[in-house]
């Protein structure tokens, strides 16, 4: 196979990349700066070698312990539970949370073959038992799987009346319009309405 066809075939395997986009991207890479290509190529080649899950919370890091778990300035009385490592970055960069994180590695999805045993619940329970947390914030996605997972966590912690257990609010996205919101989102924002 010619080098350019090989590059296109590899690019086409990326998510959301069709035949045309792969072609356009490969021709862009031929025209662009060679040192950029080498930097990008080496960053892609080495990413899995450099990055591994944090042994405490499960988010990606290139250090022994991730930057959140090792940051003494973060509030160690709050634990935010998310599905995927990238969710940590989303929440941390919102600026509205300064506690610790726990990555489950997915959400419970019996039809998709993901039972609770596939997720990091033992590590989660161990962290919570070791103590120090006052609030557990469940930040799984507002989907059927995320809701099921939230209920499961609620059940696991049913005897811990000392803990405040919360879930991220669902409702209308900021900047959105009522006319564009789907029925489920509208119903949730109605049920979760707050007093002004």
25 touches a copy of itself (CB under 8 A): yes
7 touches a copy of itself (CB under 8 A): yes
187 touches a copy of itself (CB under 8 A): no
Question: Which one of residues 18, 48, 94, 113 is an interface residue with a copy of itself (CB under 8 A)?
Answer: 48
In whole angstroms, give the CA distance from residue 25 to residue 12: 10
Q: Which stretch binds a copy of itself (CB under 8 A): 82-90, 139-147, 158-166, 185-193?
A: 82-90
Question: Which one of residues 55, 62, 64, 169 is an interface residue with a copy of itself (CB under 8 A)?
Answer: 62
Cβ 86 to a copy of itself shortest distance, Å: 5
125 touches a copy of itself (CB under 8 A): no
Structure tokens at 29: 């890479």
Q: What's the CA angle centered on 122, arms 66 and 76, to 5 degrees?
A: 45
Closest by Cα among 155, 72, 84, 81 to 123? 81
In whole angstroms, give the CA distance from residue 157 to residue 137: 12
109 touches a copy of itself (CB under 8 A): no
27 touches a copy of itself (CB under 8 A): yes
What are residue 130's phi and psi, to 5 degrees? Answer: -65, -15
Are residues 59 and 101 in contact, defined by beta-carbon separation less than 8 angstroms? yes
Give Cβ neighbours of residue 66 (< 8 Å, ≥ 6 apart): 54, 56, 57, 59, 60
Question: Which one of residues 70, 86, 164, 166 is an interface residue with a copy of itself (CB under 8 A)?
Answer: 86
Q: Which residues bind a copy of itself (CB under 8 A)?
A: 2-4, 6-7, 10-11, 13-16, 21, 23-30, 34, 36-51, 60-62, 67, 84-86, 89
């Amino acid at each position: 196979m010619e080098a350019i066809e090989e590059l296109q075939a590899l690019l086409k395997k990326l998510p959301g990349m069709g035949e045309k986009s792969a072609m356009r991207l490969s021709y862009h890479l031929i025209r662009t700066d060679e040192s950029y290509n080498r930097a990008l190529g080496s960053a892609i080649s080495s990413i899995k070698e450099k990055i591994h899950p944090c042994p405490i919370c499960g988010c990606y890091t290139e250090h022994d312990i991730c930057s959140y778990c090792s940051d003494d300035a973060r509030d160690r009385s709050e634990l935010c539970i998310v599905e995927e490592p990238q969710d940590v970055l989303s929440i941390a960069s919102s600026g509205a949370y300064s506690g610790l994180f726990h990555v489950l590695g997915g959400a419970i999805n019996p039809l998709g073959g993901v039972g609770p045993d596939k997720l990091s619940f033992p590590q989660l329970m161990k962290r919570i038992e070791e103590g120090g947390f006052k609030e557990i914030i469940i930040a799984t996605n507002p989907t059927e799987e995320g809701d099921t997972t939230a209920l499961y966590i609620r059940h696991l912690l049913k005897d811990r009346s000392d803990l405040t257990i919360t879930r991220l609010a669902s409702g209308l996205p900021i900047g959105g319009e009522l006319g564009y919101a789907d029925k489920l989102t509208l119903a949730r924002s109605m049920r979760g309405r707050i007093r002004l």
